[in-house]
Amino acid sequence: MDRKEKFINQISNIMFYAGITIEVLLVIIDKSVFINPVEGQIFRITFLLFLTKVCFTKYSMKEYTAIFLFGVLGVLSYFYTGRNEILRLVIMVAACKNVDMKKCLKLVFYMMLTGCAVIILLSMLGICGEIALTQEYGRGGVETRYVLGMGHPNALHCMFWALVLLGLYLYAEKMKWYCFILLFIINHFFFLLTGSKTSFLVTALTVLLAMILAVFKNQIFKKLCVLAGYLATVFSVGISVVVAAQAYRVYNYVWHGDTTKITMFFVKLNDIFNGRIRILVENDRFEGTTRTWSLFSRPENNYFFDMGWIRLFYWFGIIPGCVFVAVVFVLMIYSYKKQDYMAALVVISVSVYSVIEAHVFSDYLARNYIFFLLGMYWNQMFCLSSSEERYWWKIPEHIKELK
């Protein structure tokens, strides 16, 4: 590598890490009580930083083709919805080439940990943010639940889940069995503070699966556990689609007294989901249900609700949603073949959590760790790597050589 190329790589890496740092800071700010008035402009800055990294990175012709095709999907999404998340994601994932992703995720982990600690400390000192909220949470009575500066008890436990998941991905294979027991205890402590059943259960299952994958040495047993987790992932997407299609039954039960067996099943499921299905039909258009889905969505589809997989199809459309699900399934297969069981853990935990919560499907790219895994593996899992790599401005020279 000559001096000029080495300098280009150094500058492009600086741009990449600057973009990641800003994206993580935006996640932390969003979890605090601070309102960011220039968030949209900052997203444009991170997009340009990642784009700079892409422009000064060598790719094979197959990789350029993949970037172009997924970029077209992002442009179409922006044209139909006004949302730029898909285009930003494509450029960020492409920019991850030649980046030490474990090193990058360690930066994300410690920034998130520090940011959450600062938010909690400021709330406990009475400087910024409430310590607890006393209100009705949809459980039939007024409750006092702790938020520790993060606005809502579910948000507090959600960030705990996110930190535990990333920490397990990075360090689970080096942890002793008693470290996992300690995480179970801390998770229960946060449940006592927040009362968030979903985050508590998903965090507990995530820690349990990580402990099995890290402590047990039997490869067959590990593979069976991962396959079971993958089935849960497929089920998570499937049940979300079914809920979006059948949510109207909860409306029929409340307003028309429909008590058929299938309706009562979804009424019971609504209770298990703590009223999240009913939220989909408590508006004029039944926002989020399949009747409001379209191939590429539309600007009017901006209703906020939990249930992440449903939000994915509602916000971005059926085609982008199916493409993302397909890419995640390819990542699952690749992780299984590569025996990267901790990557599989991330996919499983995020997928199951997204049935109820929509934390990872938002404007903030750094919230979804699957994006980082795609950045690490995208060219390998689609077999796009090649020894013939070049900068984009040298493509015309290559075409002339072929002629």
**How many CB atoms within 10 Å of residue 96?**
25
Identity of the residue numbered 329: F
The stretches of 195-317 forming alpha helices (DSSP H) are 197-215, 219-246, 248-256, 261-272, 276-280, 308-316
| 254 neighbors 260 (Cβ within 8 angstroms) | no
The confidence score (pLDDT) of residue 262 equals: 96
Beta strands in 40-197 (DSSP E): 132-136, 142-146
Q: What is the pLDDT of residue 398?
A: 61
pLDDT less than 50: residues of the chain: none
Q: Does the global pTM surpass 0.85?
A: yes
The answer to whether residues 317 and 81 touch, using CB atoms and an 8 Å cutoff, is yes
Contacts (Cβ under 8 Å, ≥6 apart) of 196: 153, 154, 156, 157, 158, 190
Alpha helices (H) along 153-218: 153-171, 177-194, 197-215
Partners of 132 in the β-ladder: 146
Quote the pLDDT of residue 175.
Answer: 94
Torsion angle of alpha carbons 203, 131, 134, 29, nearest 10°? -70
pLDDT of 353 reads 97
pLDDT of residue 393: 75
Give me the pLDDT at residue 136, please. 78
Residue 86 near residue 77, CB atoms below 8 Å: yes
Confidence (pLDDT) at 5 = 82
Percent of the chain at pLDDT > 70 equals 97
Alpha helices in 273-361 (DSSP H): 276-280, 308-316, 318-338, 341-356
Residue 308 tokens, joined: 């992440």
Q: For the segment 208-225, what is each residue's pLDDT rounded down to a tens digit?
A: 999 999 988 888 999 999
Please write down the HEC assignment for all residues of 331-356: HHHHHHHHCCHHHHHHHHHHHHHHHH
pLDDT in tens, 117-127: 999 999 999 99
Residue 291: its pLDDT value, please? Answer: 95
The vertex-62 CA angle with 56 and 67, nearest 5°, equals: 55
Please list, in sequence order, all residues whose beta carbon lies within 8 angstroms of the beta carbon of residue 189, skipping any fewer than 6 positions away.
none
Predicted local confidence at residue 399, as pLDDT: 62
Contacts of 328 (CB under 8 A, 6+ apart): 233, 347, 351, 370
Neighbours of 227 (CB within 10 A): 13
**Euclidean distance between CA atoms 5 and 300, whole angstroms:** 46
CA angle 379, 382, 388 (to 5 degrees): 50
